[in-house]
Amino acid sequence: MGDKANAHPGAAGRATAADHPASVRNVVLVGHSGSGKTTLVEALALTAGAVNRAGRVEDGGTVSDYDEIEHRQQRSVQLSLVPVEWDGIKVNILDTPGYADFVGELRAGLRAADAALFVVSASDGVDGSTRMVWEECAAVGMPRAIVVTHLEAARADYEEMTRICAEAFGGDDPDAVLPLYLPLHGPEGPDGHAPVTGLIGLLSQKLFDYSTGERKESDPDPERLPLIEEARNRLIEGIISESEDETLMDRYLGGESIDVKTLIEDLERAVARGVFFPVLAAAPAADGGRQGLGTVELLELVTGGFPTPLEREAPRITTVDGKPREVKLCDPDGPLVAEVVKTASDPYVGRVSLVRVFSGTLHPDETVHVSGHGLADRGHEDHDVDERIGALSAPFGKQQRTLTHCIAGDLASVAKLSRAETGDTLSAKDDPLLMEPWQMPDPLLPLAIQAHSKADEDKLSQGLSRLVAEDPTMRLEQNQDTHQVVLWCLGEAHADVALERLRSRYGVQVDVIPHKVSLRETFADKSAGRGRHVKQSGGHGQYAICEIEVEPLPGGSGIEFVDKVVGGAVPRQFIPSVEKGVRAQAAKGVAAGYPLIDIRVTLLDGKAHSVDSSDAAFQTAGALALREASADARIHLLEPVAEVTVLVGDDYVGAVMSDLSGRRGRVLGTEQTTGARTLVRAEVPEIEIGRYAVDLRSLSHGTARFNRSYARHEPMPPQIAERVREEARDAS
């Protein structure tokens, strides 16, 4: 890696198709919004020779030409892939959005990668959401390293930031998070700030000067060596403590000097095993320069220390009917198993799928089987079809460079997969397989929409289906109770991007309307009603009279209909007609237009005519009887109540509980969990948590998560119920 005694860039340039999994590295960049991930990707691409000094690729675009929405919003909103080549190794760099609304793109990047680079700003520190992602990676043993950016900031302190990283990421072993370099400062400026112009390698004890934009290696002045001795000794001890060679620590403590080559080899193995997490620094190149500070060291860490795809266990693989299937680890000659980790629409070539191949080799223009993916509840249909794929390519900004194949362990863009969606599995058509999908966050912010015009209405359905095909974190709901089309999103920024894509990409203009919850009505006490439907206007008349009694039932009982007619007052053939009329009226509601539930309706008496009585007449009479019974009764308006669980840091528990109480919530209890977090359980009316996904993020500084599930309907407070009734009357 970058601190090797004779480190040198070696072969570099734009990446092509890999020939063996050992020559591939897949790394995902993780960090909060504004930490400098995209700038770092551009600096790495420049150092690797994939772009020129103006930041442009050979065929015209720039590495950051990903999406027009990203340019307008000045932030990353989707996963992007930048493949480069360094020292004969193809490095697939996956840049992820840092904003919490696009965590689905982050999860896709984690799935596609074999290691993670956590990008931390020296001026902003480590936020709670970055810590949570670190814990996710730790849970699956993903190798990680840390890159400190924004060293040019006036208050940037690299040494302090490495201490913060050790505290935030080290857990019980802060010596597992240690810097590989110390900063080399240039002369102080007029403001007293000394810029970082290079790095001092702690293992090799070499200076790497980047002040000219080109990396220059030299030996340090003898007086500098004592300044790095303490940090160097701590790094060596940290490496040796994670060494697989158990004799190494005894030799070191016995006074033996361990050679740098051995230390670097042990360091690389510890990083690849996910037990040691080096801290590095990076910054863009100086004006006119090609090599940004720390970019060479970072590329050599990735190629030398991060694992190859051969070292990663593939997710669970089964046949399409669920039977376990053993597949050899990352074998280019094995059965084809690939996964769609991202879906995008290109205005010129149609749908483009970013695919990670876990087994076998993918070739252009072959027929594959598409299986997946268990997200029918989000508007994503399951697939079990054969499709002929188009060309394979390596994306680079807006450019697509043609590939002849894509082997196990590599990533490629696949054209013309018209049915496949994010999370689907591609396999051989004669050997269909299915990969266990990765966990997706639940979208909890509702966005009710309607077509802006008749022309938009004609295109809305297709536009929405294509939108959710790209984004499995989005859920499409056609609410049968409120008759609203609802897009469930992860936050306001997620919703804004969805609306913008509908407009600019699919040509559909929509209006956002207030989201409605599914209210219900019920009787508060017993009541009676008489339905009389008698008409005689020449010809065949209508005659039906029925008397009913209505009483409330416990929640969840639905509607019961009981026949207690005696003496044939209502002929037997018309009793189902009365019930049908009662149920039809109950579905329409009797007070504010919401469905009536949890009542028992008893038919007591009635009258019929031998000629004029009919099924339709008794249906009408049944509905009239229910409406009359409601006129003399107290009708409760019922609102849905959700069971809510909030996982929040201990520092914010009080604020969260207070906020839930202010939403008419009932806190049921708390439970201490790992990582200084508390699980708060509560029941909250759904009408009060429409924007909870946004409000909780603000309340907890992005560190809390919550889930919700329907619990029951219960009576709404009278003053709120009256307001809802008034709104219903005004609307009618």
- Can you give the residue ranges of every domain in the chain? 12-311, 317-435, 445-513, 520-633, 637-731
- The string of pLDDT tens digits covering residues 70-110 is 545 555 788 999 999 999 999 999 999 988 888 889 999 99
- Gap between the Cα atoms of 109 and 118, Å rounded: 13
Q: What integer pLDDT is reported at residue 386 of this predicted model?
A: 93
- Which H or E element spans position 699? helix 692-699
Cβ-contact 521, 638 below 8 angstroms: yes
464 in helix, strand or coil? helix
Round to the nearest angstrom and report the end-to-end CA distance of the chain: 72
Tell me which architecture the domain covering 520-633 has in CATH.
2-Layer Sandwich (3.30)
Question: Domain 445-513 belongs to what topology?
Answer: Alpha-Beta Plaits (3.30.70)
Task: Judge whether 445-513 and 637-731 match in fold.
Answer: yes
Q: Is the pLDDT of residue 713 over 80?
A: yes
236 in helix, strand or coil? helix
**Angle between helix 492-504 and 454-470 (nearest 10):** 120
CA-to-CA separations, 189 to 148, 157, 192, 294, in angstroms, rounded: 22, 16, 5, 22
CATH for the 637-731 domain, from 2.40.40.20, 2.70.98.40, 3.40.50.2030, 3.30.70.240: 3.30.70.240
Cα radius of gyration rounded to whole Å, the chain: 33
**Strands in 312-444 per DSSP E:** 317-319, 337-346, 350-359, 361-362, 367-372, 383-388, 392-396, 399-403, 406-407, 411-415, 425-428, 433-435
Q: Using 50, 70 and 90 to split pLDDT, how confident is the model at 68?
A: low
| Sheet of strand 445-451: strand arrangement | 475-479, 484-489, 445-451, 510-513
Tell me which architecture the domain covering 317-435 has in CATH.
Beta Barrel (2.40)
pLDDT top residue among 622 and 402: 622
716: how many CB neighbours lie within 10 A of its CB? 20
Across 653-663, average pLDDT: 96
Across 355-369, average pLDDT: 95
Strand 177-179 and strand 277-281: pairing? Answer: parallel
> What tokens does 57 get?
């690729």
Q: What integer pLDDT is reported at residue 10 of this predicted model?
A: 44
Report the candidate in 535, 452, 536, 447 with the shortest Cα–Cα distance to residue 492. Answer: 447
Examine residue 369 and say whether the peptide bond preceding it is cis (omega within 30 degrees of 0). Answer: no
- The string of pLDDT tens digits covering residues 426-480 is 999 999 999 988 888 889 999 999 999 999 998 999 889 888 888 888 999 999 8
Q: Which residues are CB-neighbours of 458 under 8 A, at least 6 positions away?
A: none
CATH number of 12-311: 3.40.50.300
- The string of pLDDT tens digits covering residues 335-344 is 999 999 998 8
Cβ-contact 299, 3 below 8 angstroms: no
- The string of pLDDT tens digits covering residues 125-154 is 888 888 888 988 988 889 999 999 998 887
